[in-house]
Amino acid sequence: MTSKWVKSESVVTDDTTVTPKPGGPLRPRLEAVQKRMENQVARLDSLQAALKEKDDETFRKLMAAIKESNAQYSTVLSAELARARQVSRTVSVSKVALEKITTKLASASDFGDLVIVLAPAMALVKNVRSSLTPFVPEMEEELGIVSELLSGILVDAGQVGGYTINFETANEEAVRLIEESSGAVEHKMREELPGIPDLPVIPKVA
């Protein structure tokens, strides 16, 4: 049992295009998938920064349009800002959720811990993938690979350790982590982003 968990230096690599094969030692496979997850968190972090910059720019344009009483342009910019913030929220929640589960995976010290963390991790990554794909389609493939790798490690860890996997409990834990992440993100967005102002009523032409 121990031999499947110990680190094998010959298998571990920083190259995320090379993945330890199924059935090999669990620790290097886990480290490889953690590296992939960390890379996705970094991509989301960069995207989040770009979206914040775009938000600031659109908000400035909106305020200028309102000041100039340009009702039509104000309406367009207000709708654009609302859509952009929906994307920002999804990206931010995904990033926080992946960070949480990556930290939990890193803290797993034995088969029992690993199975308990891996099952909700797999459910969480699938949820993040489906939420992100409409907005960030380029991440769909990589998150699919991460999900498959987690699934393979989970099955092997469960078999080697003799543990039964409770998927219902795992799904509940994944939902809890996402809701927790969502609450934190919404609070942060309320603090950091100015509210979208109410637009002046456009007078009806008689």
Kindly list the domain boundaries of the chain, sorted by start residue: 26-192
As a whole number of angstroms, the distance between CA 10 and CA 24 comes to 12
- Specify the pLDDT at position 165: 72
Give me the mean pLDDT over the 197-205 stretch. Answer: 59
Give me the mean pLDDT over the 40-62 stretch. Answer: 95
pLDDT at 4 over 60: no
Q: Which range, of 131-140, 141-150, 189-198, averages the lowest pLDDT?
A: 189-198
Give me the mean pLDDT over the 76-87 stretch. Answer: 94
Residue 110: pLDDT band with limits 50, 70, 90: confident
Average pLDDT, whole number, for the chain? Answer: 82
- Specify the pLDDT at position 83: 93
